[in-house]
């Protein structure tokens, strides 16, 4: 039986603390475990005190030279964004050690790599309209797909949040609470179109499954809850059906929700609250919409623009 090293024991305590005390999602814990395990294996540290600036620098160099693993003639290396995932996990671990009074490198020494401005994947209003109209049938699958599309655009839910919905929710109220990242509760609002889609779908359901979104067999039978991968596949198929050549994902629908609000006059702070962003800096990726409004204002009112 192999005896765990100090660093492995501390990593386990950190992951347990992050899951229980911080309330982070299981997927987040799995990712943190992966990133920290790679760091420990590569740097060969045994104790918290072994983590030094030099060790982190060597690890960053190693990360920067790693291949993506995808077959490519350009031998692509890990993106700065992916490298930052490792550094964010390491920084969180070091903060945990400091709070426990364990001697190690201060988390302030971990600086994230600079990444280019985030690019938003969007579809046009016409494409969005075709996508929302792509599920027109009266069969249970079409009714379910209509709910998926309408709810995503109406609420801006993350796909994991969407999959967590149950039939117990009082959709008639036009709003309901949802637990987002970090266990934070926010209220989301449902449009009339989305409410009608949900009502039609639930009326057609004859099963006892608690999940709102369910898998449906070829015979039209309900076969358990629908997972995020299935939702992603459904949206991809509906986008193709709608004649959209761009890649469409649940997150694209979330982007469309935010940009629709901003383009119709919503302020950035309100959109931050509706999206469940902890930091408004995250919401600022949508400022291209408000930038356009500013250009229109400049053109309309500036004397040299007339």
Active-site residue list: 158, 181, 251, 254, 277, 286
Kindly report the backbone phi and psi dihedral angles of residue 283, in degrees, each rounded to the nearest multiple of 5, phi listed first. Answer: -75, -20
Residue 301 structure tokens = 């009112």
Distance CA 183, CA 228 (A): 18
- Residues 6 or more apart whose CB falls under 8 angstroms from that of 244 comprise 123, 127, 130, 131
Kindly report the backbone phi and psi dihedral angles of residue 285, in degrees, each rounded to the nearest multiple of 5, phi listed first. Answer: -65, -15
């Amino acid at each position: 039986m192999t005896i765990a090293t100090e660093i492995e024991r501390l990593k386990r305590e950190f992951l347990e603390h992050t899951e229980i005390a911080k309330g982070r999602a299981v997927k987040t814990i799995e990712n943190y475990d992966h990133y920290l395990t790679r760091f420990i294996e590569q740097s060969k540290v045994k104790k918290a005190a072994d983590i030094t600036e030099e060790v982190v620098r060597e690890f960053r160099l190693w990360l920067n030279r790693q291949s993506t693993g995808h077959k490519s003639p350009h031998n692509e290396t890990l993106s700065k964004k992916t490298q930052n995932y490792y550094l964010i996990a390491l920084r969180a671990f070091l903060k945990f050690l400091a709070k426990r009074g364990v001697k190690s490198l201060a988390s302030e020494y971990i600086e994230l790599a600079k990444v280019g401005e985030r690019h938003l994947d969007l579809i046009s209003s016409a494409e969005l309209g075709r996508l929302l109209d792509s599920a027109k049938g009266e069969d249970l699958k079409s009714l379910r797909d209509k709910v998926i599309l309408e709810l995503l655009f109406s609420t801006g839910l993350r796909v994991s949040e969407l999959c967590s919905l149950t039939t117990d929710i009082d959709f008639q109220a036009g709003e309901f609470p949802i637990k987002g990242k970090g266990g934070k509760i926010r209220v989301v609002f449902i449009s009339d179109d989305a409410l009608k889609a949900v009502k039609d779908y639930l009326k057609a359901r004859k099963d006892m499954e608690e999940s709102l979104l369910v898998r449906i067999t070829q015979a039209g039978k309900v076969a358990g809850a629908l997972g995020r991968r299935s939702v992603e596949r459904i949206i991809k198929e509906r986008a193709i059906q709608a004649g959209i050549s761009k890649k469409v994902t649940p997150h694209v629908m979330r982007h469309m929700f935010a940009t629709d609000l901003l383009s119709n006059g919503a302020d950035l702070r309100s959109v931050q609250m509706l999206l469940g962003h902890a930091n408004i800096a995250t919401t600022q990726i949508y400022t291209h919409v408000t930038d356009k409004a500013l250009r229109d204002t400049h053109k309309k009112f500036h004397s040299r623009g007339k």
